[in-house]
């Protein structure tokens, strides 16, 4: 269970996250983190991962205050996947995933990360045929999937993914979201995913967190968090949420909301 309360994060003097508290997120839940550009989504993930030190506030994972444990120890339980793709280096896909498991001395994942385990994970992601390819020969989308494998092989309790779908085609976007949900349920993870595609969030997440200017706007199940009013105040767009012929809610954006000018 992840509990965040009264979190303040600032770069130098500029506050990016101000007094943000979240309702507890249970293990086995996949939560979409939504918000406009510059709203503090990446900053929130980095603060949860321990890469940025919050000014104030508490982050508790299964009851443990994360600030109270060492950086290496924390990295055992929390994995953050940055927005940038893995660098194009002369390293085979298999090696790059093994490295992720072996990187920190404390990682218990190192013992589990045999070649077989890596291959099984790559197969689940549908990229086992690339295992022996070099990273510097892969496409952007393939590299993104390898990056995801690097995060998953560490078997974290808290998985923080910053736009993991940005370079993927539609097929793989669906595939990855399905897989993330399976992993989240199977291993009892708390998974936080930054998404830009609201329909993806509606369809694949157990909950949504909407933030703007570092403040929480809404948190709740997708259907109640993503509403016309919420989208207007969060993104400044005029949108409808309508059910398609199969009864699945879809977001349709009609244009900028009339209040948008006032929001910026």
Partner 1 sequence: MTTPPASTPSPADGANRAGAVYARLLHWRWVLMAALAIAIVASTLIDFTLGPSALTWPELLRTLLHPAAAEPTTRVIVWDFRLPYATMAVAIGLGLGLAGAEMQTILNNPLASPFTLGISSAAAVGASLAIVLGLALPGIPAGWMVAGNAFVFAILSALLLEAVARWGAMDSSGMVLFGIALVFSFNALVSLMQFIASAEDLQNLVFWTMGSLSRANWTTVGIMLAGFALMLPLALRDAWKLTALRLGEDRAASFGINIQRLRLTALLRISLLAALAVAFAGTISFIGLIAPHIARRLFGEDHRYYLPGSAVVGALILSLASIASKNLASGSIIPVGIVTSLVGVPFFLFVLLRRKVA
Determine the Cα–Cα distance for residues 231 and 139; give it in Å rounded to an integer. Answer: 33
How many Å separate Cα 246 from the centre of its chain? 28
Per CB under 8 A, which region of 7-15, 23-31, 78-86, 210-218 contacts partner 1?
A: 78-86
- Spell out the SS3 assignment of 101-151: HHCCCCCCHHHHCCHHHHHHHHHHHCCHHHCCCEHHHCCHHHHHHHHHHHH
Tell me if residue 46 falls in helix, strand or coil.
Answer: helix
Rounded to a whole number of angstroms, the minimum distance from the CB of residue 38 to partner 1 is 18
> Out of 8, 10, 27, 141, which residue is the one contacting partner 1 (CB under 8 A)?
141
Determine the Cα–Cα distance for residues 186 and 73; give it in Å rounded to an integer. Answer: 23
> Out of 67, 108, 115, 252, which residue is the one contacting partner 1 (CB under 8 A)?
115
Q: How many residues bind partner 1 (CB under 8 A)?
A: 52
Residue 109 has which token pair? 């994942």
Residues 151-190 that bind partner 1 (CB under 8 A): 154, 169, 171-172, 175
What ranges in the chain are assigned the alpha helix state H?
41-49, 71-77, 93-102, 109-112, 115-125, 140-152, 170-186, 198-204, 222-225, 228-235, 260-263
Please identify, using beta-carbon distances, which residue of 17 and 49 lies nearer to partner 1. 49
Any contact of residue 99 with partner 1 (CB under 8 A)? Answer: yes
> Out of 87, 252, 253, 259, which residue is the one contacting partner 1 (CB under 8 A)?
87
> Out of 23, 56, 67, 89, which residue is the one contacting partner 1 (CB under 8 A)?
89
Q: Where on the chain is the footprint of partner 1 (CB under 8 A)?
A: 49, 51, 71-76, 79-82, 84, 86-87, 89-92, 94-96, 99-100, 102-104, 106-107, 115-116, 119-120, 123-126, 128-129, 131-132, 134, 139, 141-142, 147, 150, 154, 169, 171-172, 175
């Amino acid at each position: 269970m992840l509990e965040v309360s009264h979190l303040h994060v600032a770069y130098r003097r500029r506050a990016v996250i101000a007094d943000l508290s979240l309702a507890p997120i249970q293990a086995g839940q996949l939560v979409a983190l939504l918000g406009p550009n510059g709203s503090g989504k990446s900053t929130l993930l980095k603060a949860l991962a321990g890469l940025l030190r919050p000014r104030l506030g508490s982050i508790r994972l299964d009851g443990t205050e994360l600030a109270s444990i060492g950086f290496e120890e924390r990295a055992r339980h929390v994995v953050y996947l940055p927005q940038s793709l893995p660098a194009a280096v002369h390293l085979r896909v298999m090696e790059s995933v093994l490295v992720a498991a072996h990187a920190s001395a404390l990682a218990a994942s190192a013992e589990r990360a045999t070649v077989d385990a890596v291959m099984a994970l790559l197969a689940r992601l549908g990229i086992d045929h690339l295992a022996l390819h070099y990273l510097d020969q892969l496409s952007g989308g393939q590299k993104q999937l390898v990056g995801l494998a690097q995060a998953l092989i560490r078997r974290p309790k808290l998985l923080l993914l910053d736009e993991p779908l940005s370079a993927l085609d539609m097929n793989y976007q669906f595939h990855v979201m399905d897989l993330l949900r399976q992993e989240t349920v199977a291993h009892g993870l708390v998974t936080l995913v930054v998404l830009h595609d609201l329909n993806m969030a509606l369809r694949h997440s157990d909950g949504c967190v909407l933030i703007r200017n570092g403040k929480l706007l809404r948190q709740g199940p997708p259907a109640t968090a993503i509403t016309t009013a919420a989208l207007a105040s969060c993104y400044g767009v005029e949108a409808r949420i309508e059910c398609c012929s199969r009864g699945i809610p879809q977001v349709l954006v009609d244009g900028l909301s009339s209040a948008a000018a006032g929001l910026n």
